[in-house]
Amino acid sequence: MSQAWFATLFQRRVLVALLVGWLLGVGSSQAQIVNPDGSMPSLAPLVEQVSPAVVNIATQGTVEAEANPLLNDPFFRRFFDVPEQQRQRQVQSLGSGVIVDADNGYILTNHHVIANADRIRVALNDGRELDAQIIGSDPETDIAVIQVSAEGLDALAMANSDALRVGDYTMAIGNPFGLDHTVTTGVVSGLNRTLPGNGGARLQSFIQTDASINPGNSGGALVNLKGELVGVNTAILSRSGGNIGIGFAVPINMAAQVMNQIIEYGEVRRGVLGVRVQDLSQEMAEAFEIERNDGALIAQVTPNSPAAEAGLAPGDIIIEINGKTIDDANAMANVIGLLEIGDEVRMRYVRNGQTRQTTAVVADPQTREVGADNLHPALSGARFSELDERSPLFGQVSGVLVADVAASSRAAEYLQSGDVITSVNRRNVESLESFRAQMQGAEQLLLNVRRGGRAFFVLVR
């Protein structure tokens, strides 16, 4: 441990030892930092308390193997006598998890630890190895819940991660590279951090800590000095892959909200509000003639969405949701993304310099979807909805979202879930209503489709 650690954590003991030494006529040079029983201060009791709740996770699974497009050509394979290619390959991963419910055997871990897993083995601190099943997983927060069936489990109590402060001591414990429990210590060095490219996670409000989080620590425990769980270790920031003292953990308050929905529904049932927001910069605030640069600036409102029904409009600045201050766009995304369908959203916002209030209800996107049977028989099996915050293209293009495509349906020949249709027969699609109008009476459909970073035309007859 560093000198700064001892200087801060045991400052009072040093002062007491010096005072006692002076009273006994002993020189201050003989003063030592010791416990009343003569032992040296140690975090070993805390490690012993926490370790039984931290488990090792080993997974086996299959993923689709990437292949050269030429190998998909039957003529090419026959001509060069190329054997049939394996379409899948086996993958393995190692990580960690935290038992949070001993009675039911629920374990929190990261989504990326158990993604693509066909089999999950959990190794307990007492040497037992158990098979686990996936209860549910949420890529947007990188949180997953698995379950084991066993007696005598130990669980960690959850702290209130909203009460964390920069400078609070933390301990990270996990299973790097399949080794037995490893422990690192440090402090909270930042709160509400975002980490671009973190496995696709879109809802981010990470705890940043300088307690080393190695690759195998993913899914492990970040605890305070009371042994309470404050976060789930998730990622590191590094150019080389090695630890440089910048680690990130999902706050336990966020993880618990996700876990509760997964346990109840098997998934996170996210609703939609129907707004796209951006950060309010100082320059933007000046352009809107307001004397603040905090809040989430509404850039787009989806037609017929809860936000539209609540009276919100582009240019409004959201400053508070359900009593929680909104500092920027990421803060608003985190608050809305963790609400359940049907939850009430009380918002304070600024319009033309005046603070106003409104209320909306988080909507179930499925109730606002339209089946292709009501639009055009050539797209049978697909369901469409207004383009909203479920799509990363929301706010970048106009169109309709392909909400779902039934397997082996006619629509599956052309479309995938998540596609955005931006034009029909070379006419732009502005909303679901205009999409419906352009479908009527059309014998064939020339669709302009956006899929991820690509755009292409599809002719449907």
The pLDDT tens digits for 277-303 are: 888 888 888 887 777 778 889 988 888
Q: Catalytic: which of 51, 205, 212, 218? A: 218
Q: Catalytic: which of 93, 138, 142, 181? A: 142
Phi and psi angles of residue 23, each rounded to the nearest 5 degrees, phi first: -65, -30
The residue ranking higher by pLDDT, 5 or 325, is 325
Mean pLDDT score, 384-413: 85
Cβ pair 116, 91 in contact under 8 A: yes
Burial class (CB in 10 A: 0-12, 13-18, 19+), 209: buried
pLDDT tens per residue across span 130-181: 999 999 999 888 999 999 999 999 999 999 998 999 989 998 888 755 556 7
Which DSSP state fits 113?
Answer: H
pLDDT, residue 247, reads 83
Write the class of the CATH domain 43-268: mainly beta
- Percent share of the chain, pLDDT over 70: 79
pLDDT, residue 93, reads 64
**pLDDT beyond 90 at 348:** yes
Q: Catalytic: which of 51, 93, 111, 112? A: 112
pLDDT, residue 23, reads 41
pLDDT, residue 215, reads 67
Q: Would you place residue 443 in the very low, low, confident or very high pLDDT band (cuts 50, 70, 90)?
A: confident
pLDDT, residue 285, reads 81
pTM for this entry: 0.72
Cβ pair 231, 208 in contact under 8 A: no
Average pLDDT, the chain: 80
pLDDT, residue 147, reads 94
Cβ pair 16, 31 in contact under 8 A: no
pLDDT tens per residue across span 69-127: 555 555 555 555 656 555 555 556 678 899 999 999 999 999 988 888 888 999 888 88
Radius of gyration of the chain (CA): 27
Write the class of the CATH domain 275-361: mainly beta
Counting every residue, how long is the chain? 461
How far apart CA 454 and CA 420 sit, in angstroms, is 11
Please indicate whether residue 142 is annotated as part of the active site. yes
φ/ψ bin of 316: left (φ > 0), alpha (ψ from -120 to 50), beta (otherwise): beta
The residue ranking higher by pLDDT, 430 or 63, is 430
Residue corresponding to tokens 């979807």:
369
pLDDT, residue 9, reads 44
Distances in Å between the Cα of 436 and the Cα atoms of 113, 367, 381 are 42, 17, 16
Phi and psi angles of residue 144, each rounded to the nearest 5 degrees, phi first: -135, 155
Cβ pair 309, 291 in contact under 8 A: no
Q: Would you place residue 43 in the very low, low, confident or very high pLDDT band (cuts 50, 70, 90)?
A: confident
Please indicate whether residue 154 is annotated as part of the active site. no
The residue ranking higher by pLDDT, 400 or 37, is 400
Q: Start-end ranges of CATH 2.30.42.10 in the chain?
A: 275-361, 369-460
- Residue in 231, 334, 329 with CA at minimum distance from that of residue 280: 329
Cβ pair 189, 208 in contact under 8 A: yes
pLDDT, residue 242, reads 55
**pLDDT beyond 90 at 243:** no
CATH number of 369-460: 2.30.42.10
Top mean-pLDDT range of 194-198, 254-258, 404-408: 254-258
Q: Which runs of E-coded beta strand occur in 85-152?
A: 88-101, 106-109, 117-123, 129-138, 143-147
Residue 140 is which amino acid?
E
The residue ranking higher by pLDDT, 33 or 407, is 407
Lowest mean pLDDT of 60-74, 287-301, 360-374, name the range. Answer: 60-74
The residue ranking higher by pLDDT, 395 or 85, is 395
pLDDT, residue 15, reads 40
For the record, the structure tokens of 172 come out as: 């990270």
Please indicate whether residue 161 is annotated as part of the active site. no
Q: Start-end ranges of CATH 2.40.10.120 in the chain?
A: 43-268
Mean pLDDT score, 421-448: 87
Which DSSP state fits 158?
Answer: B
